[in-house]
Amino acid sequence: MQKRKLGKSSLEVSAMGLGCMGMSYGYGPAADKKEMIALIRTAVERGVTFFDTAEVYGPFTNEELVGEALAPLRDRVVIATKFGFKIENGKQAGLDSRPAHIKEVAEASLKRLKTDVIDLFYQHRVDPEVPIEDVAGAVKDLIQQGKVKHFGLSEAGVKTIRRAHAVQPVAALQSEYSLWFKEPEAEIIPTLEELGIGFVPFSPLGKGFLTGAINADTKFDKTDFRNIVPRFTEENRKANQAMVDLIGRFAQQKKATPAQIALAWLLAQKPWIVPIPGTTKLPRLEENLGAAKVELTPEDLRQLETAASKIAVQGARYPAELQKMVGR
């Protein structure tokens, strides 16, 4: 597995990371813990060095899983986790990025992750009640204390990124980016390039849709987050099938799978982009990692992007109340 540097930071990771959220939360019932520990360790054997979790996934259970899986391999991996939510009675209860809270979360995450340092500590969502300078300052303190190595932001807007970066250099921004959500190309990616910040796209496979494994007839588990996502209504899935069909045609030409084309496209955008597809299945992990070997020529990319730009993707990527929390 090739390595990539996240921007100008010293943070070097595998070209493809592993998003661990879905193992515990978000896409239906939690998977079997022993199986997920085995999957995470297999990912390390296959060359993955970058693992993504957050206290709110579960809450808490995903960090515990990642911590247990990676404890024996700690010196070989980079662990990213996140702060910024208030958690009450085991549920998300609004945002909280007060400096004192950030420091409490760091201590609790270190214990769950069975480690003495968090490699990358992201603010999960921008908290409008707390100046970003105070947030960056709190993480700077944690870095000076040796508890955190790098500071990250998730789903932040350009002004916030600049203000945070002026206080404590931001190593990486994590946001959604894929062939069917290209909004970051307008302002975010040029800003990251200018400032030397790495980009970590989550949902690089469109929450599973771009793999071709989901269609208008798919029924999701009642606890699956996609049930409330406008882009995943039956009607919108039917309309958005055109994007999947396009990627499928390219996959056939390249003797690859649709997922591999979607990931290879992301890897081809910038050398400091590191996608973090998630999975609970070994064959899918191996398929995703195989994307790093798929070569897309400049002509392939031009054809793919030209065809994709003619498809109007239907439906918002978040329900309204969650949409309000992004791009601040």
Classify residue 217 as left (phi > 0), alpha (psi -120 to 50) or beta.
Answer: alpha
DSSP 220-282: --TTBGGGG-GGGSHHHHHHHHHHHHHHHHHHHHHTS-HHHHHHHHHHHH-TTB----B-S-H
Classify residue 153 as left (phi > 0), alpha (psi -120 to 50) or beta.
Answer: beta
Q: How many other CB atoms are there within 10 angstroms of residue 51's CB atom? A: 26
Strand partners, 248: none
What gap in Å lies between CA 223 and CA 31, rounded to an integer?
13
Token pair 């955008």 in the structure block, residue: 269
25 is catalytic: no
Catalytic residue among 25, 27, 57, 177: 57
Closest C-alpha among 17, 8, 46 to residue 202: 17
What gap in Å lies between CA 93 and CA 73, rounded to an integer?
34
What gap in Å lies between CA 186 and CA 42, rounded to an integer?
37
In the chain, which ranges are continuous DSSP H helix? 33-45, 61-70, 99-112, 132-144, 158-167, 188-195, 234-254, 258-269, 282-290, 298-309, 320-323
Retrieve residue 240's tokens. 């958005």
Q: What letter does residue 178 receive in the DSSP assignment?
A: B
**What amino acid positions are annotated as catalytic residues?**
57
